[in-house]
A and B are shown apart, each in its own frame.
Chain A
Amino acid sequence: MRRTACLSAFSAVLLSCGILTGCGSSGGSGAGASVELLNVSYDPTRELYQDFNTAFAKYWKEKSGQEVTVRQSHGGSGKQARGVIDGLEADVVTLALAYDIDAIAEKSKLVAPDWRVRLPHNSAPYTSTIVFLVRKGNPKKLHDWTDLVQPGIEVITPNPKTSGGARWNYLAVWGWMLKKELGDLSKLKDPAQADAVKQAQDKAREFVAALYHNVPVLDSGARASTTTFTQRGIGDVLLAWENEAFLCLNEPGGELIEMVVPSATILAEPPVALVDGVVDRRGTRAVAQAYLEYLYSPEGQRIAAKHYYRPVEPDKADPKDAARFPAVNLFTIDEAFTGWSEAQKTHFSDGGVFDQIYKPGK
């Protein structure tokens, strides 16, 4: 019997050794005739980057003679960021919100903390905004945010706690109210206006609560909400990213809906960043940097506009594509909320404003 125990312990140890020694050092490629990059992105950019990667491979081949293959990974923005934090070897990240890249910088130190200023336009080579999709003919006459809090109107938007995209929707509503009340968002930083600001914030909070009381379903992601609205026929209005809204209009069933642009809405800036820790280890810094910079080139901007993202330098896009974007009165998250980390803390953290809206007894 003792022999048995010894034997079993021994074989267990032996097996673990075999497994553990398996994970020695690996990695370290880069220079050479071919190179591979991993772009970790969020869901709706799949088609955009498919196009862009082909264009970039051609450009890089001409420029350096190197074959570059860019692999793509798509998923919810927050989930993708956690993947990178937990060791997914992304050379570049192209996510839905700055908060997720900040989290990578903070938790894993793989991205330098000053990443936002390393590329032009806050590291957002393309932008979008939040618009309404309504049923054809706009039967409920929904033209601006105030129309959405009318009793009986059903608003479809995903859960901001689980969907990064949905946080832009929420902030668009809040920011619009601030802008409406204050007229000028720079008053937010003016100590002399503290009372007015307080009032505007209270109004915004009331308004956002009223709007979310009109939400019958909080899907976990943006695409799920789109399905709820377009396929299930639930809701009178869907809050959507403009690029997604355009896609819906062009899909089968698109003739049954139309787009409405509210009087003011938020400028959604999906940012991109180089993952320093990974590119230095893999020796891919040069090509990864060129990849991100190419997003700002005329070709990169053209492709972004083609896929319904607003190019940050519109003159570089195909005029036909650029003309599709309606003129919108936009404000940025920095103006209305002093940046993502503030917005996240106040509104979406546990016990934050969004949770309070749903506290029982309301």
Chain B
Amino acid sequence: MRQPFKQHSVIPGFGVTLGFTVFYLSLLVLIPLSALFLKTATMGWSSFWSVVTDPRVVASYKLTFGASLAGALINAVFGFIVAWTLVRYSFPGKRLVDAMVDLPFALPTAVSGIALTTIYSRNGWVGCWLESAGIHAAFTPLGVGIALTFIGLPFVVRTLQPAIADLDPEYEEAAASLGAGRVQVFLKVIFPGLLPALLTGFALAFARALGEYGSVVFISGNMPMRTEITPLLIISKLEQYDYAGATAIAVVMLVASFAILLAINAIQWRHVRRINGRG
């Protein structure tokens, strides 16, 4: 049976709220974004193509998407551990640790950038150790990855926490009592239940990293072809008052990010449908 379009709820006002939602989203998201596309449309197709496929721009896509992906993956693994620890165990100073997770959110990005550069540059606390091991962190792609990992952490932890809290330990006990090993319990019981939240956190961290500018420009060193991130190239186009060129690169970023986010969402929907046994 088809579900009715409008479901009755205790709180009335579907029409007004939908209208508001449409209006609000248009004002905040759609109108600014369509301006982006309109501005890009002022340049011809061939000049658009030559701007967005310039070797320097392509190198920056690779760095931006690669480092963002690496950062989000690292956060997915270690953020998971952090979230798990914070939900399942209690220990002295837990609230403090919990609050610390949000710091990358709250700090102005330039401040995080300067702080990270101070620590990871050649004469910094961590940098001097890495340097003696032959690893250059600041002003290399590695530095970009570090900054993007830093800013993405809260997204994974904060989306996973409520999901882990919802996960009833009784399921794990039941699985164990039925003879499942530890790895099996994790893979078959815990992980599937948390996957949607993990994917959301991963997607948020990834998306946030793609657009990050403030913290990265300090630690990246901005060397053409090597450590230039795409947002920096957008800024450098704007410095030449090349609005169309800047928006052209922005459009590519936008379309690519949207496609990736959509793909992640699709995986999530399929997963949820499978878990709920509907569909």
Q: Tell me if A21 counts as interface (CB < 8 A to partner B).
A: no
Q: Tell me if B225 counts as interface (CB < 8 A to partner A).
A: yes
Cα of A349 to Cα of B5 in the assembled complex, Å: 55
Task: Check A234 against B121 for contact (C-beta < 8 Å).
Answer: yes
Contact with B along A145-173 (1 / 0, CB 8 A): 00000000000000101101000000000
Give the segment of A54-62, A219-227, A285-293, A297-305 that binds chain B: A219-227
Task: Check B118 against A231 for contact (C-beta < 8 Å).
Answer: yes
A residues within 8 A CB of B139? 216-217, 234
Task: Check A12 against B5 for contact (C-beta < 8 Å).
Answer: no
Interface residues of B, dominant DSSP: helix
Task: Check B218 against A11 for contact (C-beta < 8 Å).
Answer: no
Q: A82-B238, A107-B241, A359-B55 are in contact. List 19 more A-B contacts (CB 8 A).
A: A4-B14, A4-B15, A4-B18, A6-B15, A8-B16, A9-B19, A10-B19, A12-B20, A12-B26, A78-B238, A78-B241, A161-B236, A162-B222, A162-B235, A162-B236, A228-B121, A232-B117, A348-B240, A358-B56
Contact with A along B123-135 (1 / 0, CB 8 A): 1100000000000
Q: List 21 A-B contacts (CB under 8 A).
A: A1-B6, A7-B15, A7-B16, A8-B18, A12-B23, A16-B23, A78-B238, A78-B239, A78-B241, A159-B236, A216-B223, A217-B221, A217-B222, A219-B218, A224-B218, A231-B118, A232-B117, A232-B118, A232-B123, A348-B240, A350-B240
Q: How many A-B residue pairs have CB under 8 A?
A: 113
Cα of A8 to Cα of B46 in the assembled complex, Å: 41
Query: A350 and B245 in contact (CB under 8 A), knowing A162-B232, A162-B235?
Result: yes
Task: Check A220 against B235 for contact (C-beta < 8 Å).
Answer: yes
Task: Check A219 against B222 for contact (C-beta < 8 Å).
Answer: yes
Cα of A359 to Cα of B56 in the assembled complex, Å: 8
Q: A346 to nearest B CB, angstroms?
A: 13
| Interface positions of B from 120 to 163, Cβ below 8 Å from A | 121-124, 138-139
Q: A215 to nearest B CB, angstroms?
A: 8
Q: Tell me if B224 counts as interface (CB < 8 A to partner A).
A: yes
Contact with A along B13-35 (1 / 0, CB 8 A): 01110111011001100000000
With CB as the reference atom, state the residue of chain B lying closest to A344: B240
| Interface positions of A from 202 to 255, Cβ below 8 Å from B | 216-220, 224, 227-228, 231-234
Q: Which of B123, B138, B222 contacts A218 (CB 8 A)?
A: B222
Contact with A along B239-263 (1 / 0, CB 8 A): 1111001000000000000000000
B residues within 8 A CB of A355? 56, 224
With CB as the reference atom, state the residue of chain B lying closest to A15: B23
Q: Tell me if A19 counts as interface (CB < 8 A to partner B).
A: yes
| Interface positions of B from 1 to 53, Cβ below 8 Å from A | 5-6, 14-16, 18-20, 22-23, 26-27, 51
Q: Tell me if A63 counts as interface (CB < 8 A to partner B).
A: no
B residues within 8 A CB of A234? 121-122, 139
Q: Tell me if B217 counts as interface (CB < 8 A to partner A).
A: yes
B residues within 8 A CB of A348? 240
Q: Tell me if A48 counts as interface (CB < 8 A to partner B).
A: no
Task: Check B236 against A12 for contact (C-beta < 8 Å).
Answer: no
Q: Tell me if B114 counts as interface (CB < 8 A to partner A).
A: yes
B residues within 8 A CB of A182? none
Query: A232 and B122 in contact (CB under 8 A), knowing A82-B241, A162-B236, A220-B235?
Result: yes
Cα of A227 to Cα of B241 in the assembled complex, Å: 27
B residues within 8 A CB of A164? 239
Contact with B along A1-41 (1 / 0, CB 8 A): 10111111111100110010000000000000000000000
Cα of A250 to Cα of B201 in the assembled complex, Å: 47
A residues within 8 A CB of B15? 3-8, 11
Contact with B along A41-66 (1 / 0, CB 8 A): 00000000000000000000000000
Cα of A19 to Cα of B122 in the assembled complex, Å: 53
Task: Check A12 against B19 for contact (C-beta < 8 Å).
Answer: yes
Q: Tell me if A257 counts as interface (CB < 8 A to partner B).
A: no
B residues within 8 A CB of A353? none
A residues within 8 A CB of B6? 1, 4
B residues within 8 A CB of A6? 15
B residues within 8 A CB of A344? 240
Cα of A75 to Cα of B150 in the assembled complex, Å: 26
Task: Check A11 against B121 for contact (C-beta < 8 Å).
Answer: no
Q: Which of B138, B237, B241 contacts A103 (CB 8 A)?
A: B241
Cα of A89 to Cα of B31 in the assembled complex, Å: 24
Task: Check B16 against A11 for contact (C-beta < 8 Å).
Answer: yes
B residues within 8 A CB of A76? 239
Q: A19 to nearest B CB, angstroms?
A: 7
Task: Check A11 against B20 for contact (C-beta < 8 Å).
Answer: yes
Q: Which of B22, B55, B222, B240 contacts A12 (CB 8 A)?
A: B22
Cα of A216 to Cα of B180 in the assembled complex, Å: 55
Q: A20 to nearest B CB, angstroms?
A: 11
Cα of A234 to Cα of B121 in the assembled complex, Å: 8
A residues within 8 A CB of B237? 350
| Interface positions of B from 193 to 241, Cβ below 8 Å from A | 217-218, 221-225, 232, 235-241
